[in-house]
Structure 1
């Protein structure tokens, strides 16, 4: 599988972020020129369109050369960004979804089941945000309720029983904070899921593909190996939430994002994650195949690093990893 190195995006997004508006104008003009040429036979505007393509490519490189933490948050939340279901469809074979927590309900914000990865039987579990208005509402925008975490615990127990590696795909702004979720024991369910991650004696690897929000993300990402995509974020709270608490002003989210050290690059320095997965220029949504290939390669590498270890070693290493977390960055 190849690294996503191409400068030209293979697909243009259906929507643009605030800081991408100048880019949207140029790419829009190139599309308009090509549409005019198709409608008027004998009119050739390809040279003009290609000149705009080159200008757009240069602008895209400049925009993504040094993204601020807040802009990385925006990219991580891009509506066109591939989600858990997309990665499962692209990287796993024979996926058989397993539903319900055997207690209350099935939470569609969490999906999981048996599958094959590189012809190896595995258990895959992840947050799913949905890709249109209907599915986003059904999936609760990736914000899991207690039954979602209890479903994850059930699937991890099954994987442990049958000696199956567990792969988790993290993409959530955080666990759902609604009244019903709290009444059904949201914090306890998150804690049980985190505890189960620490207890299972099989390889557990995790990838943050977009947002890794608070305990809702940690409940899946307490793993032997954790990777983050280049423009993903992972933090104890959203920048808006942090700004509301510290400054009583959610508009200070840029300052909060800067202070929180939530980017993949920050967290690698702190020892919170183990590797960064490169993204195509302009974000994962601009070249989905390259993104799938890069994530698949990272998962394969991480599984290879821990496969064959004894049950006791997997558990010990996982616990040691989290006990020592942050010491690298503090010492520096």
Structure 2
């Protein structure tokens, strides 16, 4: 009897944790819908009837359209899949998706697709040093996005260990490779223009100020890229290759989670316009970062940045 009661208590606690997780995700979804769908940028025509009942019904309808737009992005469904259930034509749903992603970009891009600040740099430097790579800002790589299974457009991103995407460059033709994409990318623009925060760290007793990214073997031999050692023979080379390849997988994990959360990316693209494809891609990355911000405190190897950001800023001001 005691064992059965323990099992029931464990199941009850698991159910409560699951219900709390669902409630948190629903609150996050409602936040996006409230800030995007009701925002003036996302509305095409304001209601002419200012009566309370008409205004309430108008807002409820906007919520339904926002939820349908989110459903299309999350499940990758066609626009006419739920037309009879929601009593909306495929054209209205298609336009709603475009308005929705434009609202996400206009409302959240500054915060959730920002360039790394001094506080962000301090957190990334701490995580990189903890993983054995002082000065590391994350991993950089790219993946294909196309139509009918044929790669047509490339997405280049930079991701950190917590799967936050710090940089996104979308629009290069799929016939290019890493080097061609890098030539067109703006990943180093803030450094070239002198807008990037200063970075200082110590390696083998020597102070360095060049931040770098972990990459695979095709990237050029630049100081900003740290690649693995192919076919390592010595023990120290094997150890370095093992740690570098393990840390570099952060970008692959980020791509996998992004595809799992938004099936629109994983499936063949149903949109022909490249500009609209770019807006949808950027909006999904922004929503991905919003989810990471809410869930990163539950990660197994999570580091609270408040423990070391003040020390890092104090060192920079000396």
The TM-score with structure 1 as length reference comes to 0.34
Q: Answer with 1 or 2: which has the greater Rg.
A: 2
The TM-score with structure 2 as length reference comes to 0.35
